[in-house]
Structure 1
Amino acid sequence: MPRVDVVQTAPAPARAAVRTVELAESTERTPASLRPWLTELGRIPLVRELSEPFAHIPHTATTIVLRAEAGGRREALVLGPRTRATYSVAKAPASCVRLRLAPGAANPMLGVAASELTDRVVRLADLPGPAGELADALGELPHEEILAFLEDELPQRLSENPTQRAHRGLLTEAAAALAEPSGRSIPAVAADLAVSERQLRNLFSAGIGLSPKHFARIGRVRQILAYAGDTPWSRIAADNGYYDQSHLTADFRTLMGVPPAKFFRGHLPAPTPCQAPA
């Protein structure tokens, strides 16, 4: 268990009304037949208010985004894992469905390693995997029909050899272990799974698009964002595997662009336009 130095007991500041994609999104688990490849479906209703920026916080999953603008334009995109937060203003009112890929599912679903998608936005139709072949149909379907369509189409198009299946299983176990708030070390996780640290790094790079260390850092920062404003910073640091409050602040600032106190007060970096597909 990491040593925790209690620096101060001041509570975190009250949360400001920072708009994040996660706050606008409702989520549901995917059906069991799709769960080896897709863990979650998120729905964001039509967003009409364009004056306030959205905070897109770091995320470890590769995500298929089916976006529908109020004017009728539709597109099917893939967002790779996001290593740092971005702050953007939407160009047009739009709604979307977000399909999050399971660890190790990028290659069988999209035909490329997850590392090729990190911090990128690409058109789904430009990717060579089975999901890319379905891009046009997915882009036109009513949102409520997407899961049923994928249940019919995806399983018969996907194929894995035993090695790929084993790697996906290892990744799922490792990701769950590193997501624990107690801060399990990477050597300990590798030892538990009977693989070397180098093998674990290679698995994460190909199957998730991040190093195990960065995967764990994103998980901790996302946990911090879930805290209410009346919890002392020292307690938040201890609960999430940080050595002390200074370690928490440095990690948060690196991934979010501002220290946690400023973020929770709504003092955010200047927004930029949404990233265009590569």
Structure 2
Amino acid sequence: MASALIEEAHDLSGGAGDPLVHLPDTATALVFRTRADGRGDLVVVGPRTRAAYFAGKDLAVCVRVRLRPGTARPLLGVPISALVDRTTPLAELWGGAAVRLERRLTRLDGDRRLILEQLETALDARMRGPAVRDGLVGAAAMALSARGRERLSDLAPRMGVSERHLRDLLTEDAGLTPKSFARIARLRDALAHGGRSSGLAQLAAATGYYDQSHMTAEFRSLMGVPPGAFFAGRLPALQRC
């Protein structure tokens, strides 16, 4: 989906029986799903600093849109630091506007294309008010998450702001510190390359860790299991979704 606000959209409908792994993620997302009683449920999933593991659940409709860096705070109207590692009903943030949107989406009878179009329209309308802070948050988040990640001490002068100001903007508007952005980006890089690596030592070197021990410690902290166990499918106990 090409949108100034939505970075990615995923259809997570169905999926009963398969473990659902939520990786650490720097982004904030909106999820629309239909509950067992047929009612729509629209929630905000804040940035995640730890992996979570759930038993698969058969959902007739479950659509997730990942917001572009720097857009979540003006869209949602709260500091994203308050949403980290939380799932929050959108109605708590938007009030009646969210309830009306849930009803509109529910009446679309599971048409994923129309659901995404309605979500994008609602987000666009919300952004006609406050503007993103000169694109600083989005640009900084992408720079800190990209391969060959910049240090904050180099990034801030290039963007014409102080380190402290940029750190405060990221923490409040994106919900995570610069260090957390770097940790999660490096972990996701390792996860993406894990199946193609010839060994854990080579994987650590290829993805920016000091050594294999450093990668193992980071994996345990963020994923709940060491890398060897994760890649072998030995996951932590599954929670109810």
- Structure 1 residue 239 displacement after superposition: 2.5
Q: 1:218: which partner in 2?
A: 184
C-alpha distance in 2 between matches for 1:239 and 1:65: 33
Q: 2:103: which partner in 1?
A: 136
Q: 1:79: which partner in 2?
A: 45
- Structure 1 residue 123 displacement after superposition: 1.0
- Structure 1 residue 235 displacement after superposition: 2.9
**% identical equivalent positions:** 44
Q: 2:85: which partner in 1?
A: 119
- Cα pair distance change 1:58/1:252, threshold 3 Å: same
Q: 1:103: which partner in 2?
A: 69
The answer to whether the 8 Å contact 2:39/2:106 transfers is no
- Structure 1 residue 139 displacement after superposition: 4.0
AA of the residue aligned to 2:48 = R
The answer to whether the 8 Å contact 2:40/2:102 transfers is no
Query: Which residues of structure 2 form unaligned runs of 5+?
Result: none
- 3-state DSSP class of the match of 2:147? coil
Q: 1:23: which partner in 2?
A: none
Greater helix share, structure number: 2
Q: Does 1:236 align with 2:216?
A: no
The answer to whether the 8 Å contact 2:79/2:172 transfers is yes
Matching of residues 231-270 of structure 1 within 5 Å? 231-270=198-237
TM-score by length of 2: 0.87
Q: Does 1:197 align with 2:163?
A: yes
Deviations 1:74-102 (A, max 9, x none): 31111111110011114554441101111
Query: Which residues of structure 1 form unaligned runs of 5+?
Result: 1-29
Q: 1:155: which partner in 2?
A: 124
For the aligned residues, what is the CA RMSD?
A: 2.4
- 3-state DSSP class of the match of 2:13? strand
C-alpha distance in 1 between matches for 2:97 and 2:189: 31
RCO higher in structure (CA 8 A, sep ≥6): 1
C-alpha distance in 2 between matches for 1:42 and 1:119: 20
Tell me which moved more, 40-49 or 256-265.
Answer: 40-49
The answer to whether the 8 Å contact 1:181/1:239 transfers is no
C-alpha distance in 1 between matches for 2:47 and 2:218: 18
- Structure 1 residue 62 displacement after superposition: 0.8
TM-score by length of 1: 0.76
The answer to whether the 8 Å contact 1:108/1:159 transfers is no
C-alpha distance in 1 between matches for 2:10 and 2:115: 12
The answer to whether the 8 Å contact 2:15/2:57 transfers is no
